[in-house]
Chain A
Amino acid sequence: MTPYAYFSLLQGAGVTVALSLLGIVIGVPLGLGLALVRWARIPVLTQVIAAYVSVLRATPLVTLVLLIFFALPSIGIPIDPIPAAILTLALNTSAFNCEIWRAALIDFPKTQLEAAQATGMTSSLAFRRIVFPQIWRTSLPSLVNEMTLLVKVSPAIAVIGVVDITRAAVRIGAETYEPLPPFLAATVLYFVILLVLVRVQRSLESSTARKFGSA
């Protein structure tokens, strides 16, 4: 592979990382918000969100990105490939994150909440100071796992023209008639990205264990 090919792939890696990161930065808090609404059992909204989660978890990312990219303009909202890609990744991961956060909220010991209420904390104060600091740590493995899954389905955005690692590799292969080298290089790039994610998670987990001990 030529140096230009390597450069192309690295550019693609930049796109993959940037767009995945944006999807995560939007999707994780969004998922938390959705989970909180369901936990608080707000009428109507709870059912709507349940349906949203059910549909999004069943929809392939390719189909979703095509829907968003082609259908939004047809109902009057023009959208470019990159924003469409970010929106798709964010919506998709928000549905999975909603379930992760919900599980953590349901498992949270009610007794600690009672202690907080007994001290005069309102629900939102108790959530901010007592619930959230603990559930983000216990959910970390699931959250990072979902992030790796997001990176692994991110090549779907290539179908609307965004040049990520996969599309860059395909292009190089098409130009050089030697598809295997760029594909293998692409594999290595994805492997590195996923490895970094897992390492960050492991170090966060061990620093938590060291600090709070195991009860």
Chain B
Amino acid sequence: MNNEFAIVWAHKDRLLFGLANTVGLVVIATALSLVVGALMATALASQSRAVRRPAQWLVDGMRCVPFLLLAYIVYYGLPTVGIRLNNWTAGLTALVIYHSSYIGEILRGAWSNLPRGYIDAAHAVGFHGQVLYRRIILPPIVYAAVPVLGNQVIQIIKDTAFLMIIAVPELTHAASSIQATYYVPFAAFVAAVALYWILCRGVEMVVGVIERRAEARR
């Protein structure tokens, strides 16, 4: 057993390369999903049915589809309609489509909890449209939603592992290739699990820090 861990340690750069890919995917996917999600929230909260309905269908649709299936559809299915993406980009795209829907719904929920008076006051001073959204609405709802958003980031971390199936060289893929080459399954995957745990704990701690700062401001 110790021997196994020694072998994994000897090839730790492969594991760390996988970890770097995972972290990269997570960071970019989170950033993009937040942006797209913020846009989706406006659509979901829209008064116009023509805008709101399709957005709701998208969110409900993403809630009914396994992420891996979506990744397959983006990677293998899109080429049949002419859009050919490499596996990394396909994976990222699937992550963003999937999670921006969830984040959009989360933000919409937080938005509906904003006290009416708060928005009225902004209107009274002349805020409207995009600026109103960006400067008055988004900040408090993002703060309010931080714990839930934190959970969503953890989901993103875990969903990146599915991408190993389409050969994206992230952490689980790296662990798998080490174990296939050197026959060290226990050590390789335990190491991967430990790294995932550290990533998720990191997210939880960041959420904790942000929550405490939000409390202090109140």
Contact = CB atoms under 8 A, between A and B. Distances in A.
Complex A–B touching at CB under 8 A: yes
Interface of A: 54-55, 57-64, 66-67, 70-71, 73-75, 151-156, 158-159, 166, 169-170, 173, 178-180, 183-184, 186-187, 190-191, 194-195
Nearest to B73: A183
A41 B67 CA distance: 37
A101 B176 CA distance: 34
A154 B72 contact: no
B161 interface: yes
A74 B189 CA distance: 12
Contact of B172 (A63, A73, A190): A63
Main secondary structure of the interface of A (DSSP, over half): helix
Given A63-B172, A158-B165, A169-B72, A74 B66 contact: no
A60 B172 contact: yes
Contacts of A73: 185
Interface residues of B, number: 39
B162 interface: yes
Interface stretch (B45-53, B104-112, B113-121, B195-203): B195-203
Contacts of A59: 158, 193, 196-197
29 contacts: A57-B200, A58-B154, A58-B193, A59-B196, A60-B159, A60-B161, A60-B162, A60-B196, A62-B164, A66-B172, A66-B176, A66-B179, A66-B185, A66-B189, A67-B186, A67-B190, A70-B186, A71-B185, A71-B186, A75-B1, A75-B186, A156-B162, A159-B165, A170-B76, A178-B80, A179-B72, A179-B80, A184-B73, A190-B64
A171 to B, nearest CB: 12
A191 to B, nearest CB: 5
A47 to B, nearest CB: 16
B25 to A, nearest CB: 12
A194 B64 contact: yes
B94 interface: no
A182 to B, nearest CB: 10
A189 to B, nearest CB: 10
Interface in B1-35: 1
4 pairs of A and B residues whose beta carbons are closest in the complex? A60-B161, A70-B185, A58-B200, A67-B189
Contacts of B172: 60, 62-63, 66
B77 interface: yes
A73 B185 CA distance: 9
A151 B69 CA distance: 12
Given A152-B66, A155-B66, A166-B69, A63 B197 contact: no
